[in-house]
Amino acid sequence: MHSRGAEYWIAFSSVDGIGPAKTRRLFEHFGSLRKAWEERAEGLRAAGLDSAAVQAFLKVRQRLDLANELTRLDRAGVEAIAWDDQERYPQLLRHIANPPVVLYLKGELLPRDEVAVAIVGTRTPTEYGRRVAARLAGELAAKGVTIVSGLARGVDAEAHRAALEAGGRTVAVLGSGLDVMYPREHAGLARDIAKSGAVMSDYPLGSQPDAVHFPARNRIVSGLSLGTIVVEAGDTSGALITARFAGEQGRDVFGVPGSIFSKHSLGVHRLIQDGAKLVATAQDVLDELNLRLVAHQLHMPVSPEPEDPLEAALLAALTAEPTHIDDVARSANLPVAQVSSVLTIMELKGLVRQVGALSYVPA
């Protein structure tokens, strides 16, 4: 089921010169993208679009059949989730800089997928790297953590498969349209993931796996996750891009140490030298992210007391009246992305409740 009004978000995302930031500004200016879609050129210019973007928009509006866009998605078994969908758009992703305005999805995202960890690494791992990726993914998935990765060969695929074998959930993010599987040999894996999680992309149907797409894909992988684990990565590995995005988004970065003689460990060791947390076990990740209570307790009673000073500070910032996450972040003097991650865990523990759009009260 598509988000209400998703066709307008899809339409604006296809206009050259109107990116995610401008699309959101139009939404805020007009109150809905449907109104923006129906607006005259003068009104669009008054909303901040330059002449080139307005002309590009008018050409798209003239040729695009909005109903047909949704029909194409329906035939492909793909859902469109728009940025303004407060119920279904991933909350962690919403708080990165300039999040995608439309997500194309096969499968299903659940609230529990907010407790997610990314596992990434080289496409040509050693046997050690494969074993480590599978072990970490399987153990974390078995304890209720959703595993996020990019469906690439190597470490990504090992992480997805291990999560499925553990009976857990996993999310794959593509750098192409969902009807253009890359790599092709992972088509079966993608179908299995869609049954126990989701396969997603911010690229429309028909988009080819161009090299420029993958850094943007990596940004979504880290944005969906509380932390990113890099298993094996050489000096120029794309996994290092994912780690950099995670750091910029205020998320934790973890590195698995390897042999000092292995070229696949050079990038990971540099991450650790630069401050990434060294990971040897799944418990290391759970402890660092304060997810001790996730293990088999996502649907069980949990402790009503905050476990650390950060949780206590956020709890103190809340009142009986709903407080928006931006106000909580200002009160605690912390980045919104970090506050969002901690509040998600606190909600699982029964410490807070989300009431309305990104607003919280004590439980």
**Which residue pairs, CB below 8 angstroms and at least 24 apart, start in 236-239?**
236/267, 237/121, 237/122, 237/267, 238/120, 238/214, 239/120, 239/121, 239/122, 239/155, 239/267
Q: What percent of the chain has pLDDT over 70?
A: 95
Query: 68: domain range?
Result: 6-77
Residues 308 and 355 placed together within one structural domain of the fold: yes
Instruction: Give the model's confidence band at 304: pLDDT under 50 very low, under 70 low, under 90 confident, else very high.
Output: low
CATH number at residue 251: 3.40.50.450
Decide: 323 and 268 in contact? Cβ < 8 Å: no
Which phi and psi angles does 254 have, rounded to 5°? Answer: -120, 145
Residues 172 and 254 placed together within one structural domain of the fold: yes
Q: Which pLDDT does position 297 carry in this prediction?
A: 43
The gap between the terminal CA atoms of the chain, to the nearest Å, is: 31
Q: Which pLDDT does position 95 carry in this prediction?
A: 87
Across the range 63-71, mean pLDDT stands at: 92
Residues 147 and 249 placed together within one structural domain of the fold: yes
Number of domains in the chain: 3
CA 148/CA 112 separation, integer angstroms: 13
Residues 277 and 181 placed together within one structural domain of the fold: yes
Residues 149 and 223 placed together within one structural domain of the fold: yes
**Residue 91 is assigned to a structural domain of this protein:** no
**Residue 131 is assigned to a structural domain of this protein:** yes
Tokens 């970490």 correspond to 136
Decide: 203 and 212 in contact? Cβ < 8 Å: no
Mean pLDDT rounded to a whole number for the chain: 91
CATH number at residue 38: 1.10.150
Residues 247 and 127 placed together within one structural domain of the fold: yes
Q: Which residues, 6+ apart, have CB-to-CB distance to 4 below 8 Å?
A: 82, 85
The pTM of the whole model exceeds 0.85: no
Across the range 332-354, mean pLDDT stands at: 81
**Residue 104 is assigned to a structural domain of this protein:** no
